[in-house]
Structure 1
Amino acid sequence: MNTIIFLVMRRMRVPLLILLTAYTVAMVGMTLIEGVDDQGQPWRMEFFHAFYFVSFMGTTIGFGEIPYEFSNAQRLWVTLSLYMTVVAWIYAIGALLSLLQDEALRHAMTESRFARTVDNIHEHFYLICGYGDTGRALVSALEERFMRTVVIEKKQERINVLMMENYPIYVPKFCADASLPLHLVEGGLKNPYCSGVVAITDDNLANLHIAITAKLLKPQLTVIGRVDSHDVAANMDSFGTDFIIDPFNVFARKLHTALHSPHLLLLRECLTGEKNSKLCEPLNPPQQGLWILCGYGRFGKAVYERFKGDKNIRFVVIEATLEKTGYPKVEYIEGRGTEAHTLQQAHVEEAVGIIAGTDDDVNNLSIIMTAREINPNLFVVLRQNRADNQIIFEAAKADIVMQASQIIANHIRVLLTTPLLVDFLRLSKRRGHKWIRQLLTRLKDVLNSTPAEIWEMRIDKNSAPALWNAFSQGNSVNFECLQADPRERQKKLACIPLLLVRSDKEMILLPEESECLAPGDQLLWCGRPGVASWMEWTLRDPLVLVYLSTGEIVPRSYVGRWFLKKRK
């Protein structure tokens, strides 16, 4: 606000002085020039009358001559004053209009309005720094779950895209450099309702500055940073950043899981919402043989590092700028991979799979089209760099599409909304392929071709008051009771308890229906859309809990309870 006042006063100083001078000269002249009253006696206008007359004269309204008719000298002075004040007003108004179009003032006003809007948020929100493809996907994912976000983005064209989005909850946004501490504070860093900061800009150093600022100003805040440099990641980790995400390592891990644990990848995609349950069909990727890796940049190196210890898979690398990327320790071909002769030099005829992983979407599509003409049986992994190319990538019908923004956004969304899901997937990996296949079959039966909804639950006084009261009275509640339909207790809700975390950090995968709950327990559920709201009814309504536990329908009115007591 101080900046706005300073800019206005600096730009309007001269116009206001000219306007003030014109009115002063006009009023002084009116008090000095003599006139004649209704008795024919000479008189001079008082200062108050002069101020009143010049005020409405300057607006050219013209209420008439007061308090007596003017002399010719007074009328001449009024004429001169009229033109003088009108010109002064035109100049002042023109300067004001020019000021309103000034970029510095408009930016200061937008900044002030943004800070006030964020300061007035009284519910939990996340500060998203960066609104590229990843930021857009993350904000959309959080808004679908009615979770508030605040966005700071350096590029105005991206802010314009955000302004056109029709999100269910208003998203405060500001075009600024999020690496500056002042803008982070304006974005709600010190707001008590700020639940976390997500640094996903295109600049590694900017993400590092954001993470450092957030941890220094508010150490207990959850901070997630996106980096693709090991040095920056190490620096970020030294300041206690909670989650450091390297998109290329995430890609490589996902590909490694797809080749060696396809059912685990399928389970992860179904539970995280990357795939609809009716599309959850396992992949059958070749787990041994020759693979062609096109592109040896940061993505290609991450894939190679992940697979270099696998004795069943052999790589041939194709790279056009080996002098920049470095030479791999395996067989390599210099070229783009879009030409048939380059692919043939890499033995594409005998290859079992190809990874088109360059940073150019057009080249990646050209690579797989050329490779398929030579070897139609290739297992195709396609890297998508820009979200705008979604339509043509769907038409390419690759076996696996690695879209940077969507994968990172889903990864962060899971960390923010359902962190227990990360623990569940980690524990599921240890159970083996057979256990995962059985769980997938069970999920298909429960979901019945509907999208999976994942939610967490904590047994405490605020989140589950009905259960808390039951525990305080010495009653026990098990999973069978929670899974019963509050409308008809003989039926079960379409959901599965995935994970139970006890207060002593004990973790139980797929707890049985007979497992009793206890205060402080954390639960991870998977079910059809809408089931969570019915279960919420059970957690908060003691009478519903009594009905599900005993089958007794307790009247809600005092009269009904009195009659029930008398009947008993």
Structure 2
Amino acid sequence: MTKRLQPLARHHGIFFLILRRLRAPLILLITIMAISVLGLTLAPGTGENGQARYLSFFHALYFMSYTATTIGFGEIPYAFSDQQRLWVVFCIYMSVIGWTYTLGTLFALLSDRSLQQAIATQRFVRAVRRLREPFYLVCGYGETGRLICNALDRMRLRSVVVEIDETKVGEIELRSFAADVPALCADASSPEVLRYAGLGHPHCTGVIALTDQDATNLAIAIATRLMAPKLPALCRAEHRETAANMASFGTRHIINPFERFSETLAIALHAPAASQLLGWLTGLPGTTVERHRSPPRGPWIVCGHGRFGHWMVDAMDAESLPVTVIDRSEPPDGSHLWVQGDGTSAEALLKAGVQQATGIVAGTGSDIDNLSIAVTARELNPGLFVILRQNHEANQVLFDTFESDITVVPSEIIAHECLAILATPLLVPFLRDIRGHDETWCAAQLERLTQRLGWAVPEVWSERVNLRRSPALYHRLMRGETITLDKVLRSTADLGARLDCEVLYLDRDDDDHLLMPPLDTALRPGDELLLAGRPRARDAFALNIAYEHTLEYLLSGEDLPGGWIWRRLSRRGARPSKPQLP
């Protein structure tokens, strides 16, 4: 009951805030009205026989009500005397002063930032309370948050946004989302703000902390752990200390974009086909992945030894590759070659051995410096493999102009990781199993999948064989029928054609997991399938396993009557006729 009363208390707070700010003007208006009415009842009027006549309180109040509000003027219930007219003139000027003061205060109140924020918060709270479908709480609407919200919208999932920058909150209204996205301009590190945003809401299915401040993301992780311990929290952390602190509070998913890319680079150096397969499956929906050359093995140069540079050096050390670091800071004690200077100059690059190197990482915190490093290095060594770090989305045009081998965009890395976790939790063990396979197997699977589905990033989803998601298939399996993957992956338009999707992973309750299961695999009740394919194939597959009419047509080729009446008529028509008596 306490939680239900809190938004109401907020509403009352706004109401009393307005009354408190208008207290003096309202008191002034009431005083002017009281004095005017009292004086009008005391002022003598002229009667028919020259006797004094006085207005009653009702007539005086009625007269002052429409006169003081400038609605009109008329002497009622009879013509006024000169004393009454003199008093009315005084009252008119007093009411003008009172109304001017009141309206001025009211306009100043309406333009007050605190009141506007309070009203916006109340409107936001009401919008969140009305949500009756699953939604994700996204904290931070920067470049990463924008990608996440767009992807969730394409996946038909709702989102609620908390962003401290008012300009970014205004951008949400300009976006053409399929469903409204409630947004609040506030500090997401406040537990009260998180509660207003839906933390604890029965339909909130997860929290995504994507701000550019590790301290804020840590506060969100702690608040989620304490206020909604069952909700999954995906938190961005660019410092190892912050990640360790989040892990100590039981945060399930901690995403460091630089660490993720270092893992991707290590896989690309060790198994290029596995890296391209992972990139194709975890890309942003709606984009196209192009086949690129794999990072070569040999001497490398890392420009910039910050957080990103540290992870790059660690990844190359894991593959036993020689690394030379170019940085403006003093060289630390270590086994790496160190050139103190600026990687944008040819002198520093030549000193680091750019002409003999096989690859270079331009990983400073400045996009302009990174582009300058890449251009200068390519001029000195045209065959150099270039990994280019992009810090800001606004510079996308410049990075598109320069043809780097790999462009590292931290916001996209985080978005890929979040979508892989949120959209299909089954994708996480699948990706883990892929990393354990050799290069030949990954190359064969990549070739097979891209030949069927193309290089556009497929839609990845999961389906479970249960009564809620696939009633038709579930009932048949429970009756003991044997149904293979090949049967349910057929198209109803052409039984000889397969849907544009592939089963990547099959998870069973008895811990029997199948990676890339063959088409003759028999399904069981409770199986969970991970699929990749086109959106139309997803809808068609859902129909195949959910509706008895569609599934019967796939299994037997018989088109059953569609409605209850037609089924009854078809059964009656199928009954054998009675023999005729002689």
Q: What is the TM-score when the length of structure 2 is the normalising length?
A: 0.93
Q: Distance in 1 between matches of 2:174 and 2:564?
A: 53
Q: In structure 2, give the amino acid aligned to 1:485.
A: S
Say which SS state the counterpart of residue 208 (structure 2) adopts. strand
**Alignment-derived partner of residue 574 in structure 2:** 567
Per the alignment, residue 79 of structure 1 pairs with: 89
1:30 lines up with 2:37 in the alignment = no
Partner of 1:265: 275
Confirm whether residue 229 of structure 1 aligns to residue 263 of structure 2.
Answer: no
Instruction: Say which of 468, 478, 493 aligns to 2:474.
Output: 468
SS in 1 for 2:79: coil
**What secondary structure sits across from 1:174 in the alignment?**
strand
- 1:372 counterpart (363, 378, 398): 378
**Match of 1:305, as an amino acid?**
D
Q: Does 1:95 align with 2:101?
A: no
- The residue that corresponds to 1:290 in the other structure is 299
- Is this contact kept in 1: 2:266–2:319, CA < 8 A? no
Q: Does the CA contact (< 8 Å) of 2:280 and 2:455 recur in 1?
A: no
Give the 5 Å matches for 1:164-563: 164-274=174-284, 279-287=289-297, 289-311=298-320, 313-322=321-330, 326=332, 328-448=334-454, 450-563=456-569
C-alpha distance after superposition, 1:145-164 (max 9, x if no partner): 12111111112222233332
The one-letter code matched in structure 1 to 2:30 is L
- Call closer, same or farther: CA 1:279–1:122 in 2, change over 3 Å: closer
Q: Is the 8 A contact 1:19 1:89 kept in 2?
A: yes
- The alignment of Structure 1 onto Structure 2 pairs a total of residues equal to 564
- Report the Cα offset of residue 277 of structure 1: 8.8
Q: Deviations over 1:289-332 (max 9, x none)?
A: 21001010111111112222333x10000001237xx4553110
Deviation at 1:275, TM superposition (A): 8.8
Q: CA deviation at 1:562?
A: 4.2
Following superposition, the deviation at residue 564 of structure 1 comes to 3.5
Distance 1:266 1:49 in 2: 88
Matches of 2:464 and 2:146, distance apart in 1 = 30
Following TM superposition, by how much is the alpha carbon of 1:10 offset from its aligned partner in structure 2, in angstroms?
Answer: 2.0
The alpha-carbon deviation at position 448 of structure 1 amounts to 4.1
The 1:156/1:450 distance shift into structure 2, 3 A limit, reads: closer
Unaligned runs of 5+ in 1: none
Q: What CA deviation, in whole Å up to 9, does each residue of 1:348-367 have, x standing for no partner?
A: 11111111011111000000
8 Å contact 1:262–1:282 — kept in the other structure?
no
Tell me how far apart the structure 1 counterparts of residues 287 and 34 of structure 2 sit (CA, whole Å): 80
Deviation at 1:40, TM superposition (A): 4.6
Amino acid at match of 2:177: Y
CA distance in structure 2 between the partners assigned to 1:256 and 1:561 by the alignment:
60
Once the two structures are superposed, residues 225-278 of structure 1 have per-residue CA deviations (whole angstroms, 9 ceiling, x without a partner) of: 111222221211111101011121112112212222211111112112359897
How many Å separate the matches in 1 of 2:21 and 2:570?
Answer: 79
3-state SS of 2:436 partner: helix
Deviation at 1:474, TM superposition (A): 3.3
User: What is the Cα-based RMSD across aligned positions, in Å?
Assistant: 1.8
Measure how far apart 1:473 and its partner are. Answer: 3.4
The change in CA–CA distance for 1:567 and 1:434 in structure 2 (over 3 A counts) is same
3-state SS of 2:301 partner: strand
Given that residues 14 and 115 in structure 2 are in contact (C-alpha distance below 8 angstroms), is that contact kept between their aligned partners in structure 1? yes
2:162 to 152, 159, 162: 152
1:463 positional shift: 1.2
Counterpart CA distance in 1 for 2:183 and 2:264 is 33
Q: CA deviation at 1:132?
A: 1.6
The CA distance in 2 between the partners of 1:269 and 1:214, in whole Å, is 30
1:77 to 1:492, Cα distance in 2 relative to 1, 3 A = same
TM-superposed CA distance for 1:561, in Å, is 3.0
Change over 3 Å in CA distance of 1:559–1:22 after alignment to 2: closer
Secondary structure of the corresponding residue to residue 77 of structure 1:
helix
- For 2:415 and 2:356, the matched residues in 1 are separated by 36
Corresponding residue of 2:580: none
What CA deviation, in whole Å up to 9, does each residue of 1:507-544 have, x standing for no partner?
10111222222222111111123110111111221111
User: In percent, how many aligned pairs have the same letter?
Assistant: 39
- How far does residue 559 in structure 1 lie from its aligned partner after superposition? 4.8
> Does structure 1 conserve the Cα–Cα contact (< 8 Å) formed by 2:270 and 2:319?
no
Q: Secondary structure at the match of 1:372?
A: helix
1:121 equivalenced with 2:131 (yes/no): yes
CA distance in 1, matches of 2:564, 2:278: 50
Amino acid at match of 2:381: N
* Bigger shift: residues 499-508 or 24-33: 499-508
Shift of 1:47: 0.9
Superposed CA offset, 1:166-224 (max 9, x none): 22221111111111100000000011100111111111111111101111011100011
Instruction: For 1:110 and 1:276, locate their aligned partners in 2 and report how far apart those are by CA, in whole Å.
Output: 34
Q: Secondary structure of the residue that 2:162 maps to in structure 1? A: strand
CA distance in structure 2 between the aligned counterparts of 1:554 and 1:489, rounded to whole angstroms:
15
SS of 1:162 mapped into structure 2: helix
